[in-house]
Amino acid sequence: MTGRPPSAAVLVLHGGYETGVEPPPPGLLNLPGVRMRPFVRALRRATRVPGGGDDRTEVLVRQVRYGHRGWNGHRADALRDALAALDALGEEAAAGDGDGPPVVLLGHSMGARAALLAAGHPLVRGVVGLAPWCPPGDPVTQLAGRDIVLVHSSRDRVTSPQATQSLTARARRAGARTCMVTVRGGDHAMIRRAPAWHHLTTALVTGLLGTGTLPGPVTAALGLPPTAEATDGTLDLDRLRADRSAGLLSSP
């Protein structure tokens, strides 16, 4: 980082594979990484402050680089890379006499699993997980005190929307503030209804950072008590868009 330290940061973690110790292919050959580029561009546009004065709000949007293309069982390589990226942010801030910016982790599929497991890092404020991979045995205690919003297609055939919904309930009981948004007619790669995924994700990330406003129903879901049922915190994207207070009516 150069100049003034950022007031907040977003770390983006793309998807991957269950196994694969080789490094991800470079550039455009890394299709999971390429798929997250529109999200990165949308977030940078949404957090850019015109004018560039000294009082501007600076949000760093950075993509996490993986050393391996797979999760690889107990090695959990993507999680290690996520934690290393968070530690690097903290070290950069310490070099500039700062405490480190609050971070929202944005992950897709395997990257969302890494984000959820890395959420206990002291810099993390919240997680936005897209089509997350949520094995039922993964811990949730590290999510206590964090805002967790998971977005899943009802037609996903790669990762389970039911497992995602279950995780929101488990995490809420563990002290997290959680919400799930269902995208009807979407798919795991987020190609179907892509603009809707991009608009919603931008609204969620900026809302959790405090640089934007969360849709009202999402805020209400995050405020549910720990004993709430999983279905109570599950929202439908199309109903969100029908609510003018959600600010998503312009999304395709």
The pLDDT tens digits along the chain (252 residues) read 445 678 899 999 999 999 999 999 999 999 999 999 999 999 999 998 665 554 455 799 999 999 999 999 999 999 999 999 999 999 988 777 677 899 999 999 999 999 999 999 999 999 999 999 999 999 999 999 999 999 999 999 999 999 999 999 999 999 999 999 999 999 999 999 999 999 999 999 999 999 999 999 999 999 999 999 999 999 999 988 877 544 554 444
251 domain residue, yes or no = no
60 domain residue, yes or no = yes
Distance between CA atoms of 194 and 39, rounded to whole angstroms? 10
We report the CATH number of the domain holding residue 41 as 3.40.50.1820
2 domain residue, yes or no = no
Q: Tell me, what amino acid is at 206?
A: T
pTM for the whole thing?
A: 0.92
**Among candidates 134, 120, 114, which has minimal Cα distance to 15?**
114
74 domain residue, yes or no = yes
Q: And the tokens for 49? A: 């402050």
Our count of domains for the chain comes to 1
Q: Is 198 helix (H, G, I), strand (E, B) or coil?
A: helix
3 domain residue, yes or no = no
Domain membership of residue 143 as a residue range = 8-246
Distance between CA atoms of 62 and 40, rounded to whole angstroms? 8
Q: Is 9 helix (H, G, I), strand (E, B) or coil?
A: strand
1 domain residue, yes or no = no
174 domain residue, yes or no = yes
Distance between CA atoms of 78 and 75, rounded to whole angstroms? 9
185 domain residue, yes or no = yes
